[in-house]
Structure 1
């Protein structure tokens, strides 16, 4: 029996959106340095879409790694004004390293540690408790979308006031506003 007639079929492949974005060179991953916090002094890190970026930021995933022996509370904020002096992470790369040249993202990862005060304005959308010596991972499938000037931020507090250390990582894609 011959199966040559199957050659006339059209092949159709479905791929997840993050893979599609990566193939197009628009998916990025990165992390903060280790952030310190303690009683009354918090830490934060997040994705910041610059004012003149001309792209929308799609948050796909984030992780919070708690290196401490006590739990940490992570508050997820949309578009807050934050205390402290931020530093910009250079621990960022396109997910598709087979493309040349590698394109830098418009979005920046910024963070601050040992800050006094709380976020102002913005919206605290939800909270997570990160157990000691563990990593909390969340896949958001690009459903959180931020235009230029928008920000997705993880604000960290200690639960019992003791010193803690954490690291934040993000996966996101960017799309031109005019597309």
Structure 2
């Protein structure tokens, strides 16, 4: 006699890992330039996935380094518009350096210091305090934050007042075809 378990449909789930994507050349790490902010100005760093990229971006880990003697707040945003003065980071590489030629990411890491623009559009999903003279390391998101074509993942660095602060942001992510 069949039981209830025999009649249930099982869902197949593909689990990907950063290590597997690194071997495939799809795992990237990027760093902003030095971000200076304070005196009424913000700093910003993030990943922008172009509309025509054809990939989904899976956010893994981010770090924020504070080189100052003052704590500050970092705001994590999804789909916010980047500041107009954002620059493209030249410090982005695949983590698998054994592949030649090195693969290039479809997503673009951008950043801006001394930005008078607060975040617009998007959703502030959480905040973190970055202690003085330290590095905040996020928990691995293991790709649970997925940025589709035309979307973005942003970190806004907000000073507590007018003291000037310097810091950097590092992001790791992997990319997979958007139709997969």
The aligned runs of 1:62-141 (5 Å cut-off) are 62-138=62-138, 139-141=140-142
Work out whether residues 84 and 116 of structure 1, in 8 Å CA contact, stay in contact via their aligned partners in 2.
Answer: no
What's the offset of the Cα at 1:154?
0.3
Q: Provide the C-alpha distance between the structure 1 equivalents of 2:83 and 2:97, rounded to a whole number of angstroms.
A: 35
User: Is the counterpart of residue 17 in structure 1 residue 21 in structure 2?
Assistant: no
Work out whether residues 36 and 165 of structure 1, in 8 Å CA contact, stay in contact via their aligned partners in 2.
Answer: yes
Work out whether residues 84 and 113 of structure 1, in 8 Å CA contact, stay in contact via their aligned partners in 2.
Answer: no
Work out whether residues 67 and 133 of structure 2, in 8 Å CA contact, stay in contact via their aligned partners in 1.
Answer: yes
Q: Provide the C-alpha distance between the structure 1 equivalents of 2:117 and 2:90, rounded to a whole number of angstroms.
A: 26
What's the offset of the Cα at 1:76?
0.2
Gap runs ≥5 in structure 1: 1-14
Work out whether residues 77 and 125 of structure 2, in 8 Å CA contact, stay in contact via their aligned partners in 1.
Answer: yes
Q: Provide the C-alpha distance between the structure 1 equivalents of 2:36 and 2:18, rounded to a whole number of angstroms.
A: 31
Work out whether residues 40 and 161 of structure 1, in 8 Å CA contact, stay in contact via their aligned partners in 2.
Answer: yes
What's the offset of the Cα at 1:39?
2.7
**CA displacement, residues 60-80 of structure 1 (integer Å, 9 cap, x when unaligned):** 010000001100110000001
* SS of alignment partner, residue 44 of structure 1: strand
Q: Provide the C-alpha distance between the structure 1 equivalents of 2:157 and 2:46, rounded to a whole number of angstroms.
A: 11
* SS of alignment partner, residue 80 of structure 1: strand
Gap runs ≥5 in structure 2: 1-14
Q: Provide the C-alpha distance between the structure 2 equivalents of 1:174 and 1:80, rounded to a whole number of angstroms.
A: 20
Q: Provide the C-alpha distance between the structure 1 equivalents of 2:81 and 2:102, rounded to a whole number of angstroms.
A: 32
Which 4+ stretches in 1 moved above 6 angstroms? Answer: none
**CA displacement, residues 69-111 of structure 1 (integer Å, 9 cap, x when unaligned):** 1001100000012334110001010001111221110111101
What's the offset of the Cα at 1:16?
7.6
Residue 150 of structure 2: aligned partner: 149
Work out whether residues 40 and 161 of structure 2, in 8 Å CA contact, stay in contact via their aligned partners in 1.
Answer: no
> How many positions carry a matched residue from both structures?
165
The aligned runs of 1:48-63 (5 Å cut-off) are 48-63=48-63
